[in-house]
Amino acid sequence: MSSNTDFILAIEDLTVSFDGFKAVDGLTLYINKGELRVIIGPNGAGKTTVLDLISGKTRATEGSIRFNNIELTKMKEHQIVRAGIGRKFQTPSIYGNLTVFENLELSYPYDRNVFGSLRFKRSQAVVEKIFEVAEEIFLEELLEKQAEFLSHGQKQWLEIGMLLVQDPELIMLDEPVAGMTAKERDATALLLKKIAKRRSVVIIEHDMGFVGKIADKVTVLHLGKIIKEGTMEAVQNDPTVKKVYLGH
Amino acid sequence: MNSLKDYTDPSFSKLLYQRLFANKEALVGFLILTALLLLVLPLFLSPFRLGLAGRYLCYAFVAVGLVMCWGKAGILSLGQGMFFGAGGYCMAMFLKLEASDPESTAIQTTPGIPDFMDWNQVTELPWFWMPFKSFPLTVLLILVVPLVLAFVMSFFYFKGRVTGVVFAILTQSMVACLWYFIVGNQGYFGGINGITDLKTLNGWDIREDSSQRILYFICSLLLLACILLSRYILSSRLGRVLVAQRDMENRVRFSGYNITSFKVFVFCFAAVISSIGGALFTLQVGFMSPNLIGVVPSIDMVIFTAVGGRESLLGAVYGALAVSYAKTIFSEAYPNLWMFFYGGVFIAIVLFLPKGLAGLYQDNIKVWVKNWMRKPETDPESLKIKESEVNNVE
Amino acid sequence: MGDYTIQEIYSVVVMQSFSGLSLLCIFVLMGLGLYIIFGQMGVINMAHAEFLVMGSYTMCLFSKFISANFPWMMNYYIILAVPLSFAVAFGVGYLVEWLLISRLYKRALDTLLATWGLSLIFQQCFRSFIGAREISADLPDWLMGTWMPTDSIFIPVNGLVLLALTIAITVGLVLFMTKSRLGLRMRATTQNREMSNALGVNTKMTDRLTFALACGISGIAGAFFTTMASTSPTAGTNYIVDSFLVLVLGGLGSLLGLFISAAFLGILSSVLEFFMSGSLAKVWLYLIIFVVLMKFTRGLFSARIRT
């Protein structure tokens, strides 16, 4: 085991194999506090699997993931969330038959055990927090709307909002602008920059234009391995990256 | 934009009322059921029919439990007979001991123990029968036995994330296992014949018409209480999490909830309710046997719930009453046709009426009544309220 | 056990394992059908045991017909009866898929209820049209004999035939799935329904044939079931719970797991039955399975897949 670090997230020698196929292969990745990191890579590069591993959805075969120097690989999903990591899925996953307000309320990070949730009351603090987040994600006028009737982009925002209510130190987003209009993308870019001021963010994204707008640092993944890490410009001019994207 | 105050919860008593009766319809529905159970049926049914209704209501406890764990939380249990039986047997064991006092069992080789033990050469009351000498302990065990059973039988599976289908199959095997256990232990639990000839509860003769009537009212009141308790749970954050994990398991998990404990909770809750029903059943019929709680009756209990509407607490009561009543009437008059019809009900419910009678009411009768009562000036605002009402009613 | 000689204990163990082996064969034949249906369509078929009973009745009635009309055929009629049992179960399965199952794909919990209703209807059909009493087939003498490899070991011939048949069907099915066109289409549909559809596989017809095939296998199992026990309208209910447990224990999607768990259950249950009464043996069998599943909640053999 390596010693403690200042990184918020330190992934070392991470490997996972499914029936012999190594979806992630000896990955080492460090994320600084307050950093906004984008992971890119062609299809099947293992991007989503990395998020699955960090958030505990998939168990690692080897290696370590430490968050604020806490080992995550043995923890359950809900424990990882409670430690301070929020995760948004590739397809918006929200509660369609609840209102926007209720969606956000369900993510409020107190009273999350059985009997606590039975006692849970909407106090002023709860409502204030939800109002604050709703404003941030541009949904303050739609609090009473049933979530399944939101537009695709609004659903994406709502899910981001559900993470914000949790107040995590690290937010992980899987393709947050998929299916958004150009206007919505611009708004989202601003939103993410704002979010990143107070916490660390890891984003998986395909849209290079969008990546260029938001990223501090880009990591390129291919076949479960990192092939390049650096600024957007450096990555774009790298011959290996070009080769991977354009084929052999 | 609405103000902060509109969203914060009101004081306790007002909040309690809101949680039990989310809107006018929920209140009226509950009052209609209360009136039916406490006024209409006792006034119009003969003592014999009322006795039957009382037995059906015992199944309604199980059906309410199934609404909670299957309808709302998505956990289908084909083994609720296990918990119905737990309560039923606890009560039967208490009553049997009371019926087996040394004087009335003087002709046995060993007086003072239940007759079936004597027939099976058991000469001493086994240790696990001892608690049933005391009524308070029996009542406690009626609640604790199903709780422990449900916990042990669900915790590891939910923790290991077995799928719904596997869990359903497992619960069916569990109830089969219990059936074999009782049948195989003739000397200790009466075997296939069950525990029979139950007479008095603390000296009170449970076989007379007047006591049957009182038991009917106790049963109805407890059932109504269970419905209110279930409503309270569903309207709290706990209820929302239950429904949410049914539809979006991963999202709930990644909002920091430990789904295992929620699933175990609702499964145990349903088990305890079923057990209360089982105990009341024993009191009203005067015996308990493995064939009342086996694989087939357990599936019957699921179909009561499905007919009533798997997500409707009130519907579950009507479903249990309607199906049991139909079964009593038709299965005696036309046993052959009944099985065809009954099998057909399973298929028809799944294919055409997945929301059961409650769905029929929601989608047809209610719309019809609404159109009939509609006032000419319908502004969009009031329509919106109605829409939210539709979504809140269970 | 002091009164037994080593030789006798050895004989008991061999015979007891063999009776377990016969149970294993029934589990495998039932399980194969359930496995294919669940794997491809996400359907839990609670009426599967009724297809077994259907095969049994076909065999019984056919044997009665032969012994009444063509007694000279008694020694060989089984060669005709087995395909006939298969055909009847296949045909009914085809109809059931068309009328009911095709509307219920991927709604596993719902299919559980609907097919339970179907099984009630089938049982009542048997009762109304064939009779509620138990009946048995008239069997040729050679099938009812015993084979004695040593002086103290008696192995029933019908068990040997069942074993041979189970192996033949399993091998046949595996070959069919891997080599034939229909088998290829079945595997393709299981893997990716939309894609198969887009590539011109008639997934509806594939499903129908798959379901019917699974029912047909169960019909064959039923035909052989008559050589070991009599048939009654509710004979199937004893097997459905156990067969599903075999499937669950095997990992719900692994053929190897199915065989191993069928072997585990078959042999364990005959060993337990040797030591205690039938019902208590069942209780212990179930409890052992529950505890094993508490540890291995995904069954004994489940591939580690990306979810």
List the single residue in A with minimal CA-CA distance to B1.
Answer: A141
Structural contact between residues A36 and A216, judged by C-beta atoms closer than 8 angstroms = yes
Residue C200 CB partners (closer than 8 Å, separation 6+): none
pLDDT at position B2 is 58
* ipTM for the complex shown: 0.89
Residue B57: inside a domain, yes or no?
A: yes
DSSP string for B239-300: HHHHHHHHH-HHHHHTTT--HHHHHHHHHHHHHHHHHHHHHHHHHHHS-B-GGGTSHHHHHH
pLDDT at position C306 is 46
pLDDT digit string, tens, across residues A45-79:
888 899 999 999 999 999 999 999 999 999 999 99
Would you tell me how many other CB atoms lie within 10 Å of the CB of residue A130? 26
- Residue B31 CA to residue A129 CA, distance in Å, equals 38
Residue B230: inside a domain, yes or no?
A: yes
CA C198 to chain centre: 34
DSSP string for B353-372: -TTHHHHHIIIIIHHHHHHH
| Burial letters A69-86, b for 16+ CB under 10 A, else e | eeebbebebbebbbbbbb
Interface test with C, best of B171, B180, B299 (most C CBs within 10 A): B180
Q: Which region holds residue A179: left if phi is over 0, alpha if psi is between -120 and 50, else beta?
A: left
Phi/psi for B235 (5° steps) reads: -85, -10
How many degrees, rounded to 5, is the angle at CA B210 between CA B204 and CA B211?
35
Shortest CB distance from B76 goes to which of C109, C283, C289?
Answer: C109
* Confidence band, pLDDT 50/70/90 cuts, at residue A22: confident
Cα distances (angstroms) measured from residue B197 to each of B168, B189, B210, C126, C237: 34, 14, 19, 36, 31
- Residue B71 CA to residue B166 CA, distance in Å, equals 17
Is the pLDDT at B394 greater than 60? The verdict is no
Shortest CB distance from B169 goes to which of C103, C110, C244?
Answer: C244
Q: Number of helices and strands (H, E) in chain C?
A: 12, 2
List the single residue in A with minimal CA-CA distance to C304.
Answer: A18
- Residue C107 CA to residue C45 CA, distance in Å, equals 12
DSSP string for C95-148: HHHHHTGGG-TT-HHHHHHHHHHHHHHHHHHIIIII-SS-B-----HHHH-EE-
- What tokens does B44 get? 């119009």
Query: Exposed, middle or buried: residue B166 (CB in 10 Å: 0-12, 13-18, 19+)?
Result: buried
CB contact under 8 A, B2 and A82: no
* Confidence band, pLDDT 50/70/90 cuts, at residue A247: low
Binning chain C into helix, strand and coil, the percentages to the nearest 5 are 75, 0, 25
At C240 the three-state DSSP class reads: helix
Phi/psi for C210 (5° steps) reads: -60, -50
Structural contact between residues A188 and A205, judged by C-beta atoms closer than 8 angstroms = no
Q: Mean pLDDT over residues A227-237, rounded?
A: 87
Largest CA distance in chain C: 70
Is the pLDDT at A1 greater than 50? The verdict is no
Structural contact between residues B293 and B82, judged by C-beta atoms closer than 8 angstroms = yes
B309: closest CA among B300, B299, B318? B318
- Which residues from B are below 8 Å from C120, CB to CB? 339, 342-343, 346
pLDDT digit string, tens, across residues C6-21:
777 777 777 777 777 8
Angle formed by the axes of helices B335-352 and B313-333, nearest 10°: 150
pLDDT at position A4 is 72
Phi/psi for B192 (5° steps) reads: -65, -25
Chains that touch C (3 or more CB pairs under 8 A): A, B
C249: closest CA among C292, C305, C219? C292
- Residue A190 CA to residue C27 CA, distance in Å, equals 61
B274: closest CA among B223, B329, B238? B223
pLDDT at position A3 is 61
Position with higher pLDDT, B368 vs A169: A169
Domain count, chain B: 1
The length of chain C in residues reads: 307
At A9 the three-state DSSP class reads: strand
Residue B307: inside a domain, yes or no?
A: yes
Structural contact between residues A66 and A24, judged by C-beta atoms closer than 8 angstroms = no
- Residue A99 CA to residue A144 CA, distance in Å, equals 5
- Residue B235 CA to residue B9 CA, distance in Å, equals 12
Residue B377: inside a domain, yes or no?
A: no
**Enclosing domain of residue B95:** 48-355
Residue B249: inside a domain, yes or no?
A: yes
Would you tell me how many other CB atoms lie within 10 Å of the CB of residue B273? 31
* Confidence band, pLDDT 50/70/90 cuts, at residue B314: very high
pLDDT at position C145 is 76
Phi/psi for A178 (5° steps) reads: -60, 130
Cα distances (angstroms) measured from residue A147 to each of A139, A155, C222: 11, 7, 52
Chains that touch B (3 or more CB pairs under 8 A): A, C
- Residue B270 CA to residue B277 CA, distance in Å, equals 11
Residue where the block lists tokens 């009466």: B190
Domains of chain A from N-terminus onward: 1-84+206-248 (3.40.50.300)
- Residue A171 CA to residue A202 CA, distance in Å, equals 6
Q: What single letter denotes the amino acid at residue B269?
A: F
B194: closest CA among B91, B267, B73? B91
Q: Mean pLDDT over residues C228-242, rounded?
A: 85
- Residue B251 CA to residue C147 CA, distance in Å, equals 62
Residue B341: inside a domain, yes or no?
A: yes
Interface test with B, best of C248, C295, C305 (most B CBs within 10 A): C248
Residue B306: inside a domain, yes or no?
A: yes
pLDDT at position C303 is 57
- Which residues from B are below 8 Å from C241, CB to CB? 169, 172-173, 176, 295
Query: Exposed, middle or buried: residue C128 (CB in 10 Å: 0-12, 13-18, 19+)?
Result: middle
Is the pLDDT at A248 greater than 60? The verdict is no
pLDDT digit string, tens, across residues C48-71:
999 999 999 999 999 889 888 888
CA distance B356 to chain C (A): 13
Q: Which value, to the nearest 10 degrees, does the dihedral of the CA atoms of residues C218, C219, C224, C225 take?
A: 70
Residue B279 CB partners (closer than 8 Å, separation 6+): B87, B88, B90, B91, B142
Largest CA distance in chain B: 83
CA B301 to chain centre: 8
At A248 the three-state DSSP class reads: coil
Residue where the block lists tokens 């089982």: B278
Phi/psi for B136 (5° steps) reads: -60, -40
Largest CA distance in chain A: 60
List the single residue in C with minimal CA-CA distance to A57.
Answer: C307
Q: Mean pLDDT over residues C196-217, rounded?
A: 89
- Residue A120 CA to residue B232 CA, distance in Å, equals 12
List the single residue in B with minimal CA-CA distance to A162.
Answer: B255
Q: Number of helices and strands (H, E) in chain B?
A: 20, 2
Q: How many CB pairs under 8 A join B and C?
A: 127
pLDDT digit string, tens, across residues B346-391:
999 999 998 998 988 888 888 888 888 775 544 444 444 444 444 4
Q: What residue spans define the domains of chain C?
A: 6-238
At A51 the three-state DSSP class reads: helix
* Ranges assigned E (strand) in chain C: 146-147, 155-156
Position with higher pLDDT, C238 vs B94: B94
Q: What single letter denotes the amino acid at residue C192?
A: N
C-alpha R_g of chain B: 23
pLDDT digit string, tens, across residues B205-249:
988 889 999 999 999 999 999 999 999 999 999 999 999 999 999
List the single residue in C with minimal CA-CA distance to B338.
Answer: C124
Cα distances (angstroms) measured from residue B212 to each of B111, B208, B216, B218, C44: 30, 6, 6, 10, 42
Shortest CB distance from B172 goes to which of C121, C127, C241?
Answer: C241
- Which residues from B are below 8 Å from A98, CB to CB? 240, 244
Is the pLDDT at B56 greater than 80? The verdict is yes
- Residue B57 CA to residue C217 CA, distance in Å, equals 43
Residue B133: inside a domain, yes or no?
A: yes
pLDDT digit string, tens, across residues C286-305:
999 999 999 988 888 775 55
Q: What single letter denotes the amino acid at residue A5?
A: T
- What tokens does C198 get? 């887009």
pLDDT at position A160 is 93
